Every structure is written in structure tokens, then in C-alpha cells.
A and B are shown apart, each in its own frame.
Chain A
Amino acid sequence: MHHSLRNAATVFCAIAALSVSASAVKVGDPAPDFTGTDTNRQIHKLSEYRGKFVVLEWTNNGCPYTRKHYSSGNMQNLQKEWTAKGVVWLTVLSSSQGEQGYMTASAENSYIEKVHASPTAALLDPTGAIGHEYDAKTTPDMYVIDPSGKLIYSGAIDDHPTTNASDIPHSKNYVSDALTEATSGQQVAVTYTRPYGCSVKYEGN
């Protein structure tokens, strides 16, 4: 019994960490700092991007919700538009090895080339460390961080939680809106929505 108690301590901590999912990130609070490695073995540290707007995009190229935005070119267009305006766009892959959306560095590089995506970098997060830090729930799940390092938007990419690309033209894109408002010095109108999509395929699911 008592040796089960020692296990209890370990298992309890592990489960607590997983199921109560530490603390979700709150819009208006400083975005948690993280260090991630991209597909070209470059190290990215969020705090190094102080002074710039940063977009975090959780992705899984097998997920029909993510595909909706890549097959239509919607996500690539957003990436191009905003990186051209000096925004740092980090695509995060939190699928664990063996799960849908898990990519090796070279596979992800060829995928980025194939779909003409242009994020600043694609971070490989198979342990889910960054995902858990942000409590990222779905793919896509979008975060916008302002130059002071504060989280200013968290949630869905747009207001049409479907897998149908034909919905995109008449959708309200929350990420674009938040960036437009924030870069022009306005208050972000919609700061938090429920993200929609497939669940992030974390390790140990």
C-alpha cells in the first residue's frame, strides 16, 4: 500500500499536469516565453521577438480543419500578408511521433514548399511542451502576441467552424482583424473565441 503511495505521488503529478493542464494563457497577460527548434534547426525564443507582433499557429496537415485553410490558400495568404508587414509568424506542430500531423524537419520543409506556405518558421514540438504551455486545443488554434509580449488574441482563425473551404470568403477572420486593429493602435475588438478544429494530437493521448 505504501509503495503505491509513492507511485501515487508520481502518477498524481503527471495526471494533474495533464488533466488540469497547468494554467491556460489569459488574454491580456504576458504570453509564456518558450524556446523552440524549427525545421532548419534554428532556435527561436519568443522573448527575442519583443518589439514585433508574433502569431502562433497550431497546425496538423492531416486535420480537415487545417486543410480547409491550406487547400484554399487562406492560411498561406495570411502568412504572406502579415510577414510582409513585419509580423513574426510561427507555425507550431505539437503532434507527437506516430500521430496525425507529426512531421520530421525535412518532411515539413518539403510540405511548406509544396503548399507555398510562408511562415517565419515552423517549430517542431512533438513533446507538446509549447502546446501545453499555451493550452493549445485544436488545429488550427491561433494566438496573437503584441510587441510588449502581451497576448492580445487567442482562439479560432475565423467564425465558421466548418471544414468547407467555400465558407472562407464570407468568414470574419479574427486573426486578421486583431492584427489590423492592433497594428493601427486600436483596441482589439474580439480577443477570445473558442478555437475550432481537430484536437491537438498530444503525446500520451
Chain B
Amino acid sequence: MMLRFRHSSLALLSMALLAIAVALPASADQHSSVTAPHLTVSLLVPPAELYPGQSFTAGLDFKLEDGWHVYWTNAGDSGEPPAIKWTLPAGTLPAGVTADGIQFPPPKRLPLGPLMDFGYENEVVFPIPMHVAADFHPTQSQAPISAHVTWLVCREVCIPGKADLALARTAIASTPASPATDAATQQLIARFQALLPKPLPAADAATFSQTPKGFVLGVTGLKQSAAQFFPLDQTVIANAAPQPAVVTSNGVQLTLTKDENLQGPLQKLNGLLEFPDGIAYEIHATPGAFDITATAVVPPGGFTSILGAVGLAFIGGILLNLMPCVFPVLFIKGLALVQSSQHERHELRAHGWVYTLGILVSFWAVVAVLIILRAAGRQLGWGFQFQSPTFLALMAMLLFFLGLALAGQFEFGLSLTSAGGSLAQKQGYAGSFFTGVLAMIVATPCTAPFMGAAIGYALSHSAWISFAIFTALALGLAVPYLALAYFPAWARVLPKPGAWMEVLKQAVSIPIFATVIWLVWVFTQLAGTTALMGLLAAFLLLAIAGWFLGRWPGKAAATTIATVVLIAAIAAPVWSVRAFGITARSASEQATGNQPPATGSQWQPFTPALVAQSRAQGKPVFIDFTASWCLSCQVNERLILRRADVEQRLRDSGAVLIRADWTNQDADITQTLASLGRSGVPTYALYPADPSAPAHVLPEVLTPGIVINALDSLPNSNRQSASVSRPIAH
């Protein structure tokens, strides 16, 4: 369906010009193009002859100076679209040449302070279908096509313009044997015709529901990572408001803010939905809830992609074993294996399976919680448990206590059976099970390559697919240990038990304590230095409990005292977080005071508006999605992004550098990650300046080459401005 422009009434002026146009038949090409302030406007009419029954597409071409724009059919908060008044060969009346309305390619969002306009920069061609009547009888061979064009061209200031354009064409009485056509003109028009919005496929539906603040627009079938809505009607939505988009199991859903003065319920929400690949659909959404589960949860051709995602999740799980934050657990597992090598082979296998079960159950528990929370509408991503100070405190205490035991302050298995960490160290099946649980918990924040994509995929799909993905992830994490249990050849490589085991056990406490330091650091970021006192006091209480256990092993009284002290230890940080835990923002401010100024001061904090604004200004954007609890992120930042050559290249690229800090929950960041098909950090995304071009997501483990190559692949500014294939986008 085409977009028709409502002609503004310029009747008087047009009549006068019509008279001039009739009086002075335009000579060839002399006036087909006019250079006006800040633009050149041209009339494009590909065929050389006009004959009965002919249909063709003419075009109105605007070439704009840098920074200047003309407007879409709905100009947004200010501005007006171009308009055209035709003077066309009439032949013997009434049959003659007629022109349809101007067709508008999808526009670009043009932010201007608090305002948002919709328009075009660089170059735009508006296609205009034209028809010659079947009973067209030319009265003379000269058939000039004349147009009076008016427009508003703006940058910071606006300048109205007008031009009279004319092309000489030959009228003939019948279809010629070989119609003459200007191929270059026809191709230029065709390029823009290809961009015109398409009707929504018949199988898909567009619905919207009204909320107090606006609308939730749901469109089925169009599954893409991001989308922009351009309203065809004025004064319906707040043009400048961000339009967070989420991918659902069967389409895409956008949250739109309504115009404050919109009265009564809306009957239809009309507009364009444009996707990052440049394809736009014209939609006329009707009221109704967007049923996420309405269509099949398996997208067309999706079964193979689901299998692929499951496979990737499995590989991701295996790689998870190698990630830095799983290392302490790997040590524990290695230790457990050394102990297990004394057992019979079948028992080893059984332990392997119990360990696998431990991992599986933990992953299932997380996926169950995720599904419940997602159903409750909470925007959560992977790693969220590390955004809770209480959870962090308990993890730190668990590992600290475990570290004390490994270092030899007391022996496990003699009296304590309650703490998860001691369970992990227990011999027997319970020990194997809880080692699996611990492996899963510690692995959480380290989204290995593949894993992030797989989780993003899982979270945007149905519960069953999420379940399958998480199961594959769990099996991947468990398989190295399981393989060891099944292949005695590998087990035989393990050293014989002996005195070295005690040394190894004590050595293992070192990475455990290192992990504790990291957890305490993250805790301080979240809860502040006052709450930190509670956690440090808890460590002291743990050390006292450990001393009781070690000094009087197996004694009931000592065990009782230790238990009481342990309960006090757990209570201390929980209470201190409640009492002194400060808000996330002030915590980070407090933490800031102790930090040296970062060298990367060119990094700006993330806001969706900053990304949109920068791209609208023609600048590419590099976003580093990070969190202080994510070790892989710190490693990438310190070793790669802060390398002198990488920093230099980032600066030279002209890209706006943005750091999205996900240490605390942030709905905007979660949504942006979701739009990239990711749900965890680290994530690195390079957005080309062209807002319709998709973002390039870099691997999670960066190398200088990866970053530099990605920047090199950006279209350079010269190529951008010369490009006519995506002219609406600059």
C-alpha cells in the first residue's frame, strides 16, 4: 500500500504556474533539475514516449547537503513533507496522463534536542506511479510533464523551497515497438521503490494493547532483533520517546509512549515497522492482546536452528570448564577425582553421573526460576544472582569457610553436614552432587563463547526450548568429568594418593581465597563499605567456628558452639546489607572515590538515547557491556581495550565509545542485550552509523585483531556518502 500525501492547498499559486507552464512548454532537461539552497531537486521520468495504456513510475529526487534533511509523510514534531502539483499532458479531455500520490520510503529518526522528526538525509527519491489513459489521444506530439514542487529543508534552521520542474516527452498514439527508456533513471527509482514499505504478510497480525503510558505493539511473524516504529498519524505517540523492542517467541513487541494529549481509546495504530536490515512493513494494528504463544513456538525452519542452539549450548558448557571463574571448582573437582581414584570403576562412573545430576538439577532450578520471573514480566538476564549483595555475601562466606578447611584449619566430614561447601567436599554421592551444584553456581557469570548466544536464544523462546538449551549447557559442563569417570585410561594418568594430596588440598585454598577477594570486591560495589563491615565480621566468626571444629574435632559441645557461631556469621552480612546496604547508585559513587581515574575517559555511560543520537549524527557506536562481577569483562578491558594500539584505533575510528555497566540490574541494558540476542556479559557490539544496518557482535574473548578488524570493516565516511543504495539511512 502506498502512502499518500495530503496536498496542502496551494491552489492559487499552482494555477498561476499552470498558466506559465502551458504558455512555455519546457525545453528538454532545462528545468528537470533545480539547485536550491542546500539541495538539488530533480524530476525523473524514465520513458521517452507517452502512449495509451502505459504505466510507469516517475520520481522526485532530492540530493541534500550534509546535515540537511527533508521530511517523511509524517514529519514528526516539526517540519512538513514535500508536496507536488502536476501539470500533465491532457490529450483530448478527459483522458490523459494521471499521477498517483507521492510514495515515501522509510524515513530516519532525526532527533533534535527534545524533539524527534522523521525524514531523509543525503539523498531520497520519492517514487510516483503514473498512468496514461487507455483512450489517450494526444493532440500534439509535445507532451511536457511539469511539476510544481514545494518542500521544507531543515538543519538547525528551516528553509521552505519551491521549484518548477519540467521534462519534454513525446506523445504517440500507440504502443511503440521498442519503447525508449532512460535506464539509469529507471534504476535509481527502482532502488528506492525496493525500499518502500511492504504490506504485512497475510499470515501475520499486528495488534496493540493500551497501557496507561502508551501502547504495546505486537507483530507476529517478523522475528528480528530490533525494530523501529514510525507513526503514520500525527499526535498519537510521543515521537521522541524510546521504543524498547523485545523479541518474543512468535514475533516482535515494541513499547510505545503515547502522545500526552491523545483523547479516548485508539481504534487503529497505523505506521511503519522498520527492521535493522532496512525492510519496512506498513502496519495497521488493531486493539487486542499480543498473544506470545499464539503461533507455533518453533519458527519456520526453526527445528534445525534449535538443534544448532542446543549443540552450541553443549559446546559452550564444555568451554565453561576452562573459564577463569570456574577454575577454583575445577581444582575441587580434580581433588575429588584424586580421592575417587581409590574407588572401584563402577563407583567412579556412578559418581560422575551424580555430579552430572547435581549440575543438571541446579541448571533446571535456575531455568525454572527464570521462566517464572520472565512470566512475571521481570526483565532479567543471566548472571543476575551476582547482582544481589546477600547472595554474594553467602557465596563469599561459603568459599571462605571452604578455604579455611582446605588450608587445614579443620577437617571436613567429621561433624558438619549442613553448609553447601562442606557438602561439596564430602566423600560419597552427596559430595559429588554438591560439587556439581557448586560448579554451576560459580560458572554463572562467565558466559563462555557460544553460551551467551544460546541463552539469549533460550530466553527469547518457549519454556521447553529454554529447558532443552539449559540441559545441553549442563551436560556440556559435566561431560569432561563424566568422560574421566568412563575412561579409566585417563583416570590412570592421575597420580597415586599420598602425602602430596594434603599439599595439593592446601594449595587449592589459594584460588579459593582469590575468588573470595573477588566476591568481596563485587559485594562492596553493590552494598557499600559500611555493609562490608558485616561481611568481614562474618569472616571472623567463620574463622572462630573453624577453630572450634579444628581444635576439638568430633566433640558435640564444640560442634554446637561452631553451629551457633556459624548462624551468627550468616546473620551478620544479611543484617548489615539490610541496615547499611546503600542504593546501587550511591554505592558506585562511594566506590568511585577510591578508584584512580580510568584511562579510558572517552568511554561514555550507556543510554539508549545516546546510541540513537550518535548514530543519527552519522557516528558508529561501540558498546562494551560489562559488569564488575564479570572477570572475563575485566580481563578484556584491561588486556585488550586499554592496549595502546587498540585505544588509538578506537579513537581514530570516530566511533562513540559507550560502556554499559550491568553490575546492577538495568532494564535498558537488559533490553539492549536482548535485542542483540544476548542475555549476559561480556558482550561487545559495534553499531555502524547507518541506523538501519545491523550491529556486529564481537566474540566474548577479545583479541586486539578482533577489535581492529571489526573497526576496519566499518564503512568509511567517504563510502557512506557516496552510497546510493541506502540513501535514506545517513
Question: Which A residues form the contact surface with B (CB < 8 A)?
Answer: 1-9, 11-12, 15-16, 18-21, 23-27, 62-65, 99-100, 132, 135, 137-138, 154, 160-164, 166-167, 170, 191-205
Contact = CB atoms under 8 A, between A and B. Distances in A.
B77 to A, nearest CB: 5
A20 B241 contact: yes
B592 interface: yes
Most buried by A among B154, B591, B605: B605
A171 to B, nearest CB: 9
A100 B157 contact: yes
A203 to B, nearest CB: 8
A164 B148 CA distance: 14
B647 interface: no
A62 B235 CA distance: 26
Nearest to A101: B157
A163 B242 CA distance: 31
A3 B592 contact: yes
A6 B588 contact: yes
Most buried by B among A26, A27, A164, A202: A164
Contacts of A135: 114, 260
B129 to A, nearest CB: 25
Contacts of B591: 2
23 contacts: A1-B637, A2-B525, A2-B592, A2-B595, A3-B597, A5-B589, A11-B604, A11-B607, A19-B240, A20-B240, A21-B114, A24-B259, A64-B158, A65-B158, A137-B78, A162-B150, A163-B152, A164-B10, A195-B78, A196-B78, A198-B158, A199-B113, A205-B113
Contacts of A25: 260
A25 B240 CA distance: 15
Nearest to B603: A4
Interface in B259-276: 259-261, 263
Nearest to A20: B241
B141 interface: no
Nearest to A137: B77
B159 A21 contact: no
Contact of A64 (B78, B160, B585, B610): B160
B606 interface: yes
A18 B114 CA distance: 5
Contacts of A4: 598, 600, 603-605, 659, 661
Contact of B8 (A160, A197, A199): A160
Contact of B598 (A3, A9, A193): A3
A20 B113 CA distance: 10
Interface in B584-627: 585, 588-589, 591-592, 595, 597-598, 600, 603-607, 609-610, 613, 626
Contacts of A26: 260-261
Contacts of A196: 78, 80
A23 B605 contact: no
A143 to B, nearest CB: 12
Interface string B331-351: 000000000000000000000
A20 to B, nearest CB: 6
B261 A24 contact: yes
Contacts of A202: 113-114
A201 B113 CA distance: 9
A3 B117 contact: no
A199 B592 contact: no
B74 to A, nearest CB: 9
B111 interface: yes
Given A65-B158, A166-B13, 20 more contacts: A1-B626, A1-B659, A2-B592, A4-B604, A4-B659, A7-B605, A8-B661, A24-B260, A26-B260, A64-B158, A100-B157, A137-B77, A138-B78, A160-B9, A161-B80, A162-B150, A192-B235, A199-B158, A201-B157, A202-B113
B112 interface: yes
A99 B238 CA distance: 25
B118 to A, nearest CB: 13
A2 B240 CA distance: 29
A9 B585 CA distance: 8
B250 interface: no
Most buried by B among A26, A163, A194: A194
A196 B495 CA distance: 82
A137 B589 CA distance: 36
A197 B78 contact: yes
A137 B113 CA distance: 10
Contacts of A63: 157-158
Contacts of A205: 112-113, 156
A204 B150 CA distance: 30
Nearest to B598: A3
Contacts of B87: none
Given A1-B628, A1-B659, A162-B8, A200 B115 contact: yes
Most buried by B among A62, A135, A137: A137
Nearest to A99: B156
A11 B592 CA distance: 16
Nearest to B81: A161
B718 to A, nearest CB: 27
A145 B198 CA distance: 44
Contacts of A164: 10, 13
Interface in B653-699: 659, 661, 663
Given A6-B589, A7-B605, A204 B113 contact: yes
Most buried by B among A9, A19, A192: A19
Contacts of B375: none
B295 interface: no
B589 A162 contact: no
Contacts of B659: 1, 4
B12 interface: yes
A201 B263 contact: no
A2 B8 CA distance: 54
Contact of A5 (B242, B260, B605): B605
B234 interface: yes
A166 B114 contact: no
Contacts of A194: 234-235
Given A199-B115, A200-B115, A100 B156 contact: yes
Given A19-B111, A19-B240, A162 B80 contact: yes
B614 to A, nearest CB: 12
6 closest A-B pairs by CB: A8-B605, A24-B260, A21-B114, A199-B78, A163-B160, A5-B588
Contacts of B261: 24, 26-27, 154, 191-192
Contacts of A163: 152, 160
B226 to A, nearest CB: 18
Contacts of B589: 5-6, 9
Interface string B697-709: 0000000000000
A202 to B, nearest CB: 4
Interface string B95-113: 0000000000000000111
B177 to A, nearest CB: 46
Contacts of B585: 5, 9
Contacts of B628: 1-2
Contact of A15 (B156, B235, B609): B609
Interface in B137-155: 150, 152, 154
